Amino acid sequence: MSKVWFVGAGPGDPELLTLKGRDLVARAGAILYAGSLVSEAATRWAPPGCEIADSKEMTLERISAWLIEKAAAHETVVRLQTGDPTLYGALIELVQPLDAAGIEVGVVPGVSSAMAAAATAVESLTLPEVTQTVILTRVAGRTPMPEGESLAELARHHCTLCLFLSITLLKTVQSELRAAGWREDAPVLVVHKASWPGEEAIVRGTLADIREKCRAAKINNQAMIIASPTLGARQWPTLQKSKLYDAAFTHRFRKGAEAATR
């Protein structure tokens, strides 16, 4: 029985494919990759004779038709999607026609560009007693935001914000963060093509100047915006340390120093 797999290709570096994703590529009879965002190098493990196509000029309906057509001819069909298929990936819109056609579906998670951007910049999205919350969102553009999910409303939590699909709307980002009470010197990080070999770029700035810095660097696509009170912590003279590794902290695998002396 054939099965269509939606595989997260990760943020760009083909070596960030999961082992399961790579193994599915290696036995696929047909692969459809999102060429506007996924490097063709991610298909390099495909077997000889595998049908490989780029979906960048396809409509949603054409993508669905292609997957259904190839599922009739091959046991394993792979749809390679950027980052993780469950984030901004039209997953359900593509799965519904497959369900209607009686075709089995599987999903393999991938490394999100949010995590890749933080890793590229050697930043942590959470820190003890600074923030323990990460919001993955976007700014309203051609796709409106549901009620209660404007950036200004979400930003009032003053936690870590990872903004997808918003690099061309940096002026709006600035306005919304200001409306939420963020200071002009609040750190903001922009990473272009995180993990893409030889192509990634890091821009560090503040709420006040990040737009100008990105314009100077000519970054206007494929970028993750991170606004967070944790940014720059690598240079902080003091940090509140994690309780998990505190010598006095007892957990299931280790007795804390104080408990051990009782």
3-class SS string, 75-87: CEEEEEECECCCC
Q: pLDDT-derived band of residue 35, with 50, 70 and 90 as boundaries?
A: confident
pLDDT band at 204 (very low <50, low <70, confident <90, very high): very high
Tokens of 96: 């519904």
Q: Which CATH architecture has domain 115-235?
A: 2-Layer Sandwich (3.30)
Q: Percentage of residues in the chain with pLDDT exceeding 90?
A: 83
CATH annotation of 3-108: 3.40.1010.10
Average pLDDT over residues 113-132: 97
- Across 199-208, average pLDDT: 97
pLDDT at 45: 95
pLDDT of 12 over the 70 cut:
yes
Taking the model in full, what pTM does it have?
A: 0.90
**pLDDT confidence of 107, banded at 50, 70, 90?**
very high
Question: 195 and 13 in contact (C-beta within 8 Å)?
Answer: yes
Provide the residue ranges of all domains of the chain, joining segments of one domain with +. 3-108, 115-235
Structure tokens that stand for 43 in this block? 């298909």
Q: Tell me what pLDDT residue 246 has.
A: 65
**255 pLDDT band (50/70/90 cuts)?**
confident
